[in-house]
A and B are shown apart, each in its own frame.
Chain A
Amino acid sequence: MTAVLLEGVSKVFNAGRADEVTALTAVDLTVERGEFVTLIGPSGCGKSTLLRLVGDLTQPSTGTVTVAGKPAATARADQEYGIAFQQAGLFEWRTVQRNVELPLELRGTSKRERRERAREMLDLVGLGDFAGHYPAQLSGGMQQRVAIARALAVHPPLLLMDEPFGALDEMTRERLQDELLRICASTGTSTIFVTHSIPEAVYLSDRVVVMSARPGRITEVVPIDLGPRTEATRQSPGFFTGITKVRRALRGEAVPAGATS
């Protein structure tokens, strides 16, 4: 079954006005169950917009968005996905722990289970000691990790992540990449992940979707086949080949045969 299906999707902001922006045109994209798909492209090419369309946080101007076999609006109502935005977006009046508990609270999870799950997720992102702190007491990168923990806490079948690791140091970043892959693999989670880092895209993905701006569109889809990730993967020739392919695609060079969206 496909997790996400976009057919002929376009998005125009402020249609008919002087400040009209075509954020996306003619986007066709399929994400299979359990697949990890990364969006990469220059700033302003519509990556966040694409993610928000999948999450039914904004509606397409044309085309259809199907999530888990349902229209996006139904999927949202059924809480089929978890999302981590480009900004952390924590509630400053809640402690770190209670921020992570928020989605569980809204699902009516029992208090004890909420607490356990939030603890588990905070340990995962390395913030177990900060459960009682308020967001304002954390650095930007730490806040971002709380937001990631919050998105993961409900074990959603689909994860939408918008540059979640952007504000993190390299060590934390690599550790969280591995953790994310482990979680997604063990729970069969499908993921759409936005990043500006080519190595990150290649390391994480089954497919890298390369986009370009003005108007925002998918120019190429680069399949990555690195097998199960290990310590050695980041040094493997296949990894570097992948990086080269994606970099070429971003520059708009050499379209490899068979690469369609």
Chain B
Amino acid sequence: MNRRGRLVLGALGAVVVGVLLWEGYKAVGDPDGTMLFGTRILPRTDDGAMPHVWTILSRFGDPELSGGDPIWLVVLQACLFTLRSVALGFVAGGLIGLLLAVLMQRLRIVERGLLPYVILSQTVPLIALAPVIAGWGGRLSIGAYPWQPWMSVTVIAMYLAFFPVAVGMLRGLQSPAPIAEELMRSYAAGWWQTLVKLRLPASTPYLFPALRLAAAAAVVGAVVGEISTGTRGGVGRLVIEYSREATTDPAKVFTAMIGAAALGLAVAALIGFSEFLLRRRRVRA
């Protein structure tokens, strides 16, 4: 209880510090930004570049366009739309990552041959990749259903999410001490039994950090995917749309950005909660 209390306090403290930094810099900083040798190293502090925190917060309550839904509702709906891509991409990416890790652990040759490509896959710039995936998707259909733009976004989220799971789980599956592997060998346990009874349970300490990274990657992938494919409905699209209004309504784009950040936090919290449940079950068992 005490630990949880401190955790909540820490989180609140971080928010307070963030707000103080924002407002503090806004108060003391040069409205034209801080220049060093002709380069602007700190942003402008005028209301157009850095609106007050309360302006941004109150903007959530105002309608998106005059007479429309309030902006919090619009942002929330957009986040939920994006969440679908995040969740599907995360699950599919996690499964693919797990499968790759198992394959790489099973066969040294596969590890040697595959791992460089797995790493290479993450160095391809997402901005370059997104239109390609959207382009391919446009020519596909799943049975009678035509390919939807959000599916491309899901694929991009998946593409980013599989990587931490593949690498983390490979390490986890390889983590048992030689003596534990020998013990399984002495029981004449086959590959599958060794996987289920030894490697998978031994890899849980690696699983959750990997899942947290994968969740964050899925959020980034989905948002950036929406931005670069121009998919309607998601929070990524809102960021683009609102940033066009930055000069007339500077607080608006921050609402979308806070929405995207909240989406990431919500997904991370979900992972944290499932880890907590698993831990508790193990202690009770």
Contact = CB atoms under 8 A, between A and B. Distances in A.
Interface of A: 52, 55-57, 76-79, 81-83, 85, 87, 89, 91, 93-95, 102-103, 105-107
A55 B186 contact: yes
Among B180, B187, B189, the most chain A Cβ lie within 10 Å of the Cβ of B187
A82 to B, nearest CB: 8
Interface stretch (B12-20, B31-39, B196-204): B196-204
A57 B198 contact: no
A103 B193 CA distance: 11
Interface of B: 177, 179-180, 182-183, 185-189, 193, 197-198, 201-202, 204, 282, 285
A30 to B, nearest CB: 22
Given A85-B179, A91-B180, A76 B185 contact: yes
Contacts of B198: 91
Contacts of B177: 89
A91 B201 contact: yes
A79 B183 contact: no
Contacts of B185: 56-57, 76
B285 A83 contact: no
A89 B179 CA distance: 6
Given A56-B185, A77-B188, 6 more contacts: A76-B185, A79-B187, A85-B183, A89-B177, A102-B197, A106-B193
A89 B183 contact: yes
B183 A106 contact: no
A71 B183 CA distance: 19
A249 B187 CA distance: 35
B203 to A, nearest CB: 10
Contacts of B186: 55, 57, 76, 81-83
A76 B204 CA distance: 29
Contacts of A91: 180, 197-198, 201-202
12 contacts: A76-B185, A79-B188, A83-B186, A89-B183, A91-B180, A91-B197, A91-B198, A93-B201, A93-B282, A102-B197, A106-B189, A106-B193
Contacts of A56: 185
A203 to B, nearest CB: 27
B144 to A, nearest CB: 46
A93 B204 contact: yes
B179 A87 contact: yes
Contacts of A87: 179
A93 B193 CA distance: 16
B101 to A, nearest CB: 18
Contacts of A94: 201
Contacts of A89: 177, 179-180, 183
Contacts of A107: 187
A185 to B, nearest CB: 24
A117 B259 CA distance: 57
B204 A83 contact: no
8 A-B pairs with the lowest CB-CB distances in the bound complex, closest first: A89-B179, A93-B201, A106-B187, A83-B186, A77-B188, A57-B182, A79-B188, A106-B189
A223 to B, nearest CB: 29
Nearest to B204: A93
A94 B202 CA distance: 10
Nearest to A78: B188
Contacts of A106: 187-189, 193, 197
Contacts of B183: 83, 85, 89
Nearest to B193: A106
A103 B187 contact: yes
A56 B198 CA distance: 20
A57 B189 CA distance: 13
Nearest to A55: B186
Contacts of B285: 95
A81 B187 CA distance: 8
A91 to B, nearest CB: 7
A120 to B, nearest CB: 19
Nearest to B184: A106
B185 to A, nearest CB: 6
